[in-house]
Amino acid sequence: MTHKEFMAFIWPSLLAMALFIAVPIISVAYQSMFVEHEQIMIETETCGPFGCTPEVAVDQDAMRKVREDSPAGRFNGLDTYTNSSHLATDEITEIVATSENFGEIRDRIMNLPFYKALIFTLSYTFIVTPLVIVFGFIIAVVVNSIPSFLKGPVIFFSLLPMIVTPLVGSLVLFWMIDSRGVVGAFLQYLFADPSLSLKASPTLTWVTLFVYGVWHSAPFAFVVFYAGLQTVPSDTLESSMVDGANRWEQIRFVVMPYLLPLATFVALMQLMDNFRIFEPIIGFSASASATSLSYLIYTDLREAETPLFGSAAATSMLTIIGVIILLLPVLFRNAREFNRKA
Amino acid sequence: MALFQTSSDNPAAQKSTALAVLSVAFVLVWLFIAAFPFLWTAWGSFKAEGDFFSRADWMNAIAGPATTAQTGGAFTLDGYRGAWIEKEFWRAAMNTGIVTLCVTMISLTLGTLGGYALARSGFRYTFWILIAALVFRAMPHVTLVSGYLLPFFQLNIWGYLPTTIIVLVAINQPFTLWMLHSFFLSIPKDLDEAAMVDGCTRFQAFRLAIIPVMWPGVVTTGLFSFLLAYNDFTTTSMLLTETNATMIPKINSFLGSTQEEGKVMYAVAAVVSAIIPLFVLIMFFQRQIVSGLTAGAVKG
Amino acid sequence: MARLQLKNINKRWGDFVGVKDLNLDIADEEFLVLLGPSGCGKSTTMRMIAGLEGVSEGEILLGDQVVNHLPPKDRDISMVFQSYGLYPNLSVYENIRFPLRVRRVPKDQHDEMVMRAVRMVELEDFMHRRPAELSGGQRQRVALGRAIVRKPTVFLMDEPLSNLDAKLRVSTRAQIKNLQSKLKVTTVYVTHDQIEAMTLADRVVVMNAGEIQQVGTPTEIYNTPANTFVASFIGSPAMNLIDGRIDGGTFTAEGMTIKGLKTRHSGPVTLGFRAEDADVCEADGQITGPVYSVELLGDATMITWRQGGALVSIKTNKDYRAEIDQTVTGAIPTEICHLFDAQTGARIAQD
Ligand SMILES: Nc1ncnc2c1ncn2[C@@H]1O[C@H](COP(=O)(O)OP(=O)(O)O)[C@@H](O)[C@H]1O
Ligand SMILES: [Mg+2]
């Protein structure tokens, strides 16, 4: 295929990605260095029957003009990145200087919005991902061993939690774990504690979100591993049987090594997807105890009066950097493999 | 039963009864965990709030005494009526229909051309395009949205369905490209090369030799494009006005008003309504979905 | 004590019969080869012995024990697979050690046993490589090494040489024969290659369509094939088989007559003889006609006639030359002739 033919085929796709993925990233980088215009105040006199009183109000006309002149706001350099709702460098310095012990440092940092979100995002990513792989694998192995007429229905229902919209899926669970819902009531009965509520404690909220994450993604790992199990080389598996391996040893020495590349694939997909955890926080109304980077951006943009574009953009940039760090090992591996092939 | 005669008399596959029972029990528990929430919610959507969220006894959600007291029957369509008619969920459903249909069509058209080019070109930059696509695929959508809003306001294109459709197509491209690229790799090169030897141009070869055999891969990829558009909350909730909202943002907007008695059932009914098309989708396309999930894995 | 007995073994999948009424008694230390065309049920038989496949009917005895329901790991066997079935993530050393590990052989004996096997299959230089980094022949030797690392009651080998090139096949064949006679372990070996069977076996079992056709030493199988199937399957080129009639010891078919056969049988029969046993002659031959083809084989020249619908070949002196369509006469002495029933294909004894 010549360069020209290649371009003829691929340009619409490249254009779409350039315009709506690459340019927005640049736009975000640009916006992150600006903040909203300061309010321009104007003093007016309100005159009533009892004389005139001076009043200070926002000069809407002037504001509109300034906004039109420079819609991104005023230049702020990297200050947004370091302010208290992002990296909070000053606050961190102070916390480290004035805190007595590590526990206190941790607690105080957890109160900074960006770090609170970052820590939850990372915890979610790195707890849910391995659990998904483990559960998916176990389900796949067990389903593979049951009578075959059960397999179809099992796969059918297993797909549901994964296919269903995350917001919808989390709402379905949320209503069930509500203290008036069936699971909530059951837990109260189980622990003999009528006041038990999963929403009340931050820890329980985190656990709930993790459980949701595993419930939502385990089917994906299951399906991938299950498909992989169908292609385990029977020669090797049978060799191990004849060699004397028991059921567990067959899994340990033949099946697991064979599925390892699939596990890497699942891990990669899950890292990417879990790092952008967002809808469940809304679905579970969990923002009081758990926020994520994506959620921070969302609330900045949803700010009722004027969206905080600068702040959202700075968080976005930090998130993008996070994603790239997450992907670095994969990128290196791919590049190495490509170079070896070339 | 004749069905598992072969496996049970195979000494290599035989297992103790305990293990067999345990496996089936485990699978049943998993089935329950996976499916029960949906069944429960679907059932509950025909009840009054006092039953679905019962302070007294969870059994009420099954029998439905409050529903009977309020409406005279054990089941009620109040939730659906409220959501679809009073809150105009039908409009959201229509918008979702338009958005998903357009996104799927356009994504597949662009993705098929691009994926074919990537699969057939041996140049070094194909590798970098694929890597860029992988990185783009990993971008949280909300970070992109924060890049769109300001320019869209400026250009006055915010809030309309076409804008959202194009954005979703673009967000969808990385995945579509990867998937179709690996699918086209599995179609032998000989096919289009033979056509070109016979005198076709590259495009004719694509049209005459490749298009007739590409449908399985395209259908599978299309399912996932559909799911992405259908399930999107981030983009649609930020880029569409209230009247243009699709189903998922609409459901979210119901949540604000759930304090009022009975209103939460609107959300429940809407949620169940949004699940039904997905249920049907799995029913018809289970095999394609499974093969699509694993297609990426094979290529790695 | 490792006698292996198969009693009335049947294997069915639904209506399809894979193996039918198979009886075999394999003595301790015997090298038994299952020979037959592809799809005739050799692997199935072997897999039933290994426990990888269930038995529909009949009994398998290993020593005095009925093992029908024992899983493979409890049968004390080792097996070499056609595509080797190596563990791709383990090194050669670990591959060979694997059976010791999972059979809980005391750890302190592992190294000695593995090294003995490694030396026997001459893999000392490759111990730390992964299977993917080995050639086909080396992989085959890893599989062999893994099979001999412990002393099982029975070795099973399913076409272990079929993935090797011709030259390597010959040398590995010799190696297997040598190993087996040193280790003195009962061996069942599956192949579709008659030369392999002839060179390796103490006894050959010829199978077709799930049934045993003949059991015997290689010489017996070659010299007195039990039926037309065995006759045509063993030997290269295949035995000439000619349909005709016999009456009073005289066989007649289109274009040929053989007199003086020592049998009282009369009626339609199939006569067989091997190309290498006959020769061309100047006159008074049993077959005369225009030559269909002349092939130079190097160590011999093969002359072929068309006879009825079939081809009849005779090997002769390597310097013999003839033109196509030239009339040539072949000598087929009665001593080299085999007679088979025209209907059943079974051998008809001659006095
Ligand atoms: N699991 C199975 N189900 C149905 N038929 C089978 C199965 N395994 C083997 N067969 C059939 O049994 C016959 C014998 O197979 P096999 O023993 O593998 O032949 P071979 O002699 O070439 O090793 C073949 O016709 C094959 O198709
Ligand atoms: Mg075979």
B168 CA → ligand 2 middle, Å: 53
DSSP helix/strand/coil, A52: strand
Q: Largest alpha-carbon pair distance within chain A?
A: 104
C211 CA → ligand 1 middle, Å: 13
Inspect the interface and report whether the beta carbons of B9 and C52 lie closer than 8 Å: no
Domain assignment of residue A22, yes or no: no
Does C109 or B260 have the greater pLDDT score? Answer: C109
In chain B, which residues have their Cβ closer than 8 Å to the Cβ of A327?
A: 134-135, 138
Class at the top of the CATH hierarchy for domain C4-227 = alpha beta
pLDDT value at B257 more than 50: yes
Which band of pLDDT confidence, cut at 50, 70 and 90, is reported for residue B143?
very high
Cα distance between residue A32 and residue A317, in whole Å: 8
- This complex has an ipTM of 0.90
pLDDT of amino acid A131: 97
pLDDT of amino acid A126: 95
Alpha-carbon distance A250 to nearest alpha carbon in chain C (angstroms): 10
Say which residues have a Cβ less than 8 Å from residue C351's Cβ, sequence separation at least 6. Answer: C262, C263
Domain assignment of residue A131, yes or no: yes
Domain assignment of residue A102, yes or no: no
Say which residues have a Cβ less than 8 Å from residue C282's Cβ, sequence separation at least 6. Answer: C329
**pLDDT tens digits, A270-301:** 999 999 999 999 999 888 889 999 999 999 98
Q: Is C72 on the interface with B (CB under 8 A)?
A: yes
What DSSP string describes B115-158? Answer: HHHHHH---HHHHHHHHHHHHHHHS-HHHHHHHHHHHHHHHT-T
- For residue C237, whether the previous peptide bond is cis, meaning omega lies within 30 degrees of 0, is yes
Q: Which two tokens stand for residue A6?
A: 């290649």
pLDDT of amino acid B3: 33
Domain that holds residue A136: 112-316
Contact (Cβ atoms closer than 8 angstroms) between residue B180 and residue B221: yes
Number of domains in chain A: 1
Cα distance between residue C278 and residue A89, in whole Å: 101
- Region A320-327 average pLDDT: 91
**Mean pLDDT, all residues of chain A:** 88
C45 CA → ligand 2 middle, Å: 9
Mutate to test the pocket of ligand 1, among C40, C79, C156, C188 (most ligand atoms within 8 A of CB): C40
Domain assignment of residue A86, yes or no: no
Least confident span in A46-50, B230-234, C30-34, C94-98 = A46-50
Inspect the interface and report whether the beta carbons of A160 and B279 lie closer than 8 Å: yes
% of chain C beyond a pLDDT of 70: 100
- Region A177-187 average pLDDT: 84
Q: Is B3 on the interface with C (CB under 8 A)?
A: no
Inspect the interface and report whether the beta carbons of B10 and C70 lie closer than 8 Å: no
In chain B, which residues have their Cβ closer than 8 Å to the Cβ of C55?
A: 9
At how many degrees (to 10) do helices B89-120 and B215-231 cross? Answer: 140
The H helix count followed by the E strand count for chain C is: 8, 21
% of chain A beyond a pLDDT of 70: 99
% of chain C beyond a pLDDT of 90: 62
Cα distance between residue C131 and residue C137, in whole Å: 11
**Best of A239, A256, A259, A264 to disrupt the C interface by mutation (most C CBs within 10 Å)?**
A239
pLDDT value at A38 more than 80: no
C230 CA → ligand 1 middle, Å: 21
Chains that touch A (3 or more CB pairs under 8 A): B, C
Q: Is A265 on the interface with B (CB under 8 A)?
A: yes
pLDDT of amino acid B2: 33
pLDDT value at B277 more than 60: yes
Which band of pLDDT confidence, cut at 50, 70 and 90, is reported for residue B75?
confident
pLDDT of amino acid A341: 67
Cα distance between residue C181 and residue B126, in whole Å: 58
pLDDT value at B298 more than 70: no
Q: How many residue pairs bridge chain B and chain C with CB atoms within 8 Å of each other?
A: 23
Topology adopted by domain C237-348: OB fold (Dihydrolipoamide Acetyltransferase, E2P) (2.40.50)
pLDDT value at B7 more than 50: no
- Region A36-53 average pLDDT: 75
Domain assignment of residue A182, yes or no: yes
**pLDDT tens digits, C187-222:** 999 999 999 999 999 999 999 999 999 999 999 999
Ligand 1 closest atom vs CA C46: 17
Domain assignment of residue A293, yes or no: yes
**pLDDT tens digits, C299-326:** 899 999 988 778 899 999 888 888 889 9
- CATH code for the domain in which residue A257 is found: 1.10.3720.10
pLDDT of amino acid B6: 40
pLDDT value at B1 more than 80: no
- Dihedral over Cα of A109, A113, A114, A120: its sign: positive
How many residues in chain B? 300
pLDDT value at A139 more than 50: yes
- Domains in chain B (CATH in brackets) are 11-76 (no CATH), 82-299 (1.10.3720.10)
Measured between CA atoms, the residue of chain C closest to residue B3 is C14
Say which residues have a Cβ less than 8 Å from residue A39's Cβ, sequence separation at least 6. Answer: A58, A63
**pLDDT tens digits, C50-108:** 999 999 999 999 988 999 989 998 998 999 998 899 999 999 999 999 999 999 999 99
**Best of C15, C46, C53 to disrupt the B interface by mutation (most B CBs within 10 Å)?**
C53
Q: Whose Cα sits closest to atom 12 in ligand 1?
A: C18
pLDDT of amino acid C128: 94
**pLDDT tens digits, B166-216:** 999 999 999 999 999 989 998 888 888 899 888 888 889 999 989 999 998
% of chain B beyond a pLDDT of 70: 94
pLDDT value at A194 more than 90: no
**pLDDT tens digits, C272-293:** 999 999 888 887 788 888 899 9
Domain assignment of residue A136, yes or no: yes
In the block, tokens 């073994």 appear at: C9
Cα distance between residue C85 and residue C147, in whole Å: 11
In chain B, which residues have their Cβ closer than 8 Å to the Cβ of C54?
A: 6, 9-11
pLDDT value at B258 more than 70: no
Domain assignment of residue A129, yes or no: yes
Domain map of chain C by residue range?
4-227, 237-348
pLDDT of amino acid C210: 92
Say which residues have a Cβ less than 8 Å from residue A243's Cβ, sequence separation at least 6. Answer: C73, C78, C98, C99, C102, C103, C146
Does A56 or A285 have the greater pLDDT score? Answer: A285
Task: Tell me which ligand sits closest to the C-alpha of residue C45.
Answer: 1
**Best of B7, B8, B14, B16 to disrupt the C interface by mutation (most C CBs within 10 Å)?**
B14
Which band of pLDDT confidence, cut at 50, 70 and 90, is reported for residue C335?
confident
Which band of pLDDT confidence, cut at 50, 70 and 90, is reported for residue A342?
low
Alpha-carbon distance A256 to nearest alpha carbon in chain C (angstroms): 10
**pLDDT tens digits, C340-349:** 998 898 998 8
Say which residues have a Cβ less than 8 Å from residue C73's Cβ, sequence separation at least 6. Answer: A241, A242, A243, A244, A245, A246, C102, C103
pLDDT of amino acid B300: 40
Nearest to C85 among A238, A244, A258 (CB): A238
Which band of pLDDT confidence, cut at 50, 70 and 90, is reported for residue B260?
low
pLDDT value at A97 more than 80: yes
pLDDT value at B245 more than 60: yes
